[in-house]
Structure formats: structure tokens, C-alpha cells
């Protein structure tokens, strides 16, 4: 299974699975083509969370390389310094061979081992984020790719998002040493989305 529909030109979320809430594909000033992804922060209390979409799981070559490129912008120009803004970006979440989340041995209460690349908004223009990484040598067997909007208080660096805060993504590519996950009993590995 290849990484698909990173430009959202199907006009919908084909190839993606929604994590939290339901981000939408819109025609609001896309970076390229006709469509882009709109992700909205929906609440500001302790249960707050952001919209997200995911692809995968994918199997990867241990120690192999992968790269991410995406374009992003926000709907409203920020009016606070960068270190007080909510962060946005992507995560690579690692799973075992059964599709279960790997736990961080240094934080057993947190159910994910992941790598991430985040950004803060500068203005309302489109900006490119590129990032190169290496897959773990051992421990994980699968991964999923996740895009998130403005983060919730308990996520990443703990900075609050504002209700209605909108992030747009377009022209997302994920390349590297990964393939379809191995089938189990004739069916693909399924991932239970818990604790996104």
C-alpha cells in the first residue's frame, strides 16, 4: 500500500482515517490543485483535542530512511509570540507486529512511541515543512503517519489551542523504506485508535 492522496485531490479523505473529530477536505485557497485539508481545534477545556487524520499501518525496514514533505498554513495570523502558540505538525507512531501501540519505557502511562516534527504559525501564507528521519533498528514493526492541527493542553508541549483555530495542509508526501504490512489470517493488520 503506497501513501496516497496527500494532495487531497480526490476531494475527500480517501486513503486517510480520521483520528479525532472529522477534519474536512475543502477548496479554501489550496496550495496546489483544487483541494486541501482543513483541521480545526474544537474545544478549550481539559478534554480538548484537535482534529487529526492518519494513514497506515505500514511495515518498514529497520534502520531505513524516510522523509516527509508537506505544505501548511493557518486561517488567522497569530497575535502571540511563537513560544506561546499551539504547535501543529505530524507524528510517526510506532506499533508492534500486532498493530498495538508501543509504550515508552520511560513513561509507561503514555501509550505511544513516536517521532514528530512540529511548527508554529508565522502568517497566513503557505509554508513548506520537510523532514528526514531513520526508522528504529528494533522494537517496532509497523508505523502510522498522523497529521494534527493545533494541539491540546496535554499534547506535545502543553500549549493551549483556541477553539476554532484552523490549520490547512496540502501536498503531503511520505517516502522511504516502507511497504504494506504483512497479512494475518488473510486480513490486514488493524489498529485500534486509543489515546490519540
The strand pair at 113-119 and 52-60 is best described as unpaired
The contacts of residue 147 (CB under 8 Å, 6+ apart) are 23, 37, 39, 52, 53, 54, 70, 89, 90, 169, 172
What pTM, to 2 d.p., does this model score?
A: 0.81
For domain 17-179, give the CATH number.
2.60.120.260
The 10 Å Cβ neighbour count of residue 184 is: 12
What are the pLDDT tens digits along the chain (196 aa)? 468 999 999 999 999 988 766 789 999 899 999 999 998 876 544 444 567 888 988 999 889 999 999 999 988 876 655 555 666 788 888 888 888 888 767 766 665 667 777 777 778 899 999 999 888 888 888 998 988 876 644 444 444 556 567 889 999 999 998 887 665 433 333 443 433 3
pLDDT for the residue 193: 41
Total H helices, total E strands in the chain: 0, 11
Average predicted confidence (pLDDT) for the chain: 77
Which grid coordinates belong to 179?
511497504
pLDDT for the residue 13: 94
The 10 Å Cβ neighbour count of residue 18 is: 15
pLDDT for the residue 125: 93
pLDDT for the residue 20: 64
Residue boundaries of the structural domains of the chain: 17-179
pLDDT for the residue 30: 96
Amino acid at each position: 500500500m503506497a501513501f496516497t492522496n496527500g494532495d487531497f485531490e480526490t476531494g475527500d479523505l480517501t486513503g486517510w482515517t480520521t483520528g479525532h473529530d472529522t477534519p474536512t477536505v475543502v477548496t479554501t485557497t489550496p496550495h496546489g490543485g483544487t483541494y486541501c485539508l482543513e483541521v480545526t481545534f474544537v474545544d478549550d477545556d481539559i478534554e480538548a483535542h484537535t482534529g487529526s487524520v492518519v494513514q497506515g499501518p505500514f511495515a518498514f525496514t529497520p534502520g531505513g530512511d524516510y522523509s516527509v514533505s508537506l505544505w501548511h498554513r493557518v486561517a488567522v495570523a497569530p497575535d502571540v509570540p511563537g513560544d506561546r502558540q499551539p504547535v501543529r505538525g505530524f507524528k510517526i507512531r510506532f506499533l508492534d507486529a500486532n498493530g498495538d501501540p508501543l509504550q515508552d519505557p520511560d513513561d509507561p502511562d503514555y501509550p505511544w512511541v513516536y517521532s514528530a516534527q512540529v511548527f508554529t504559525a508565522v502568517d497566513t501564507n503557505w509554508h513548506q515543512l520537510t523532514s528526514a528521519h531513520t526508522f528504529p533498528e528494533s522494537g517496532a514493526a509497523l508505523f502510522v503517519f498522523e497529521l494534527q492541527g493545533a494541539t491540546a493542553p496535554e499534547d506535545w508541549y502543553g500549549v493551549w489551542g483556541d477553539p476554532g483555530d484552523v490549520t490547512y495542509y496540502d501536498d503531503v508526501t511520505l517516502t522511504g523504506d516502507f511497504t504494506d504490512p504483512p497479512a494475518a489470517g488473510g486480513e490486514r493488520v488493524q489498529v485500534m485508535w486509543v489515546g490519540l
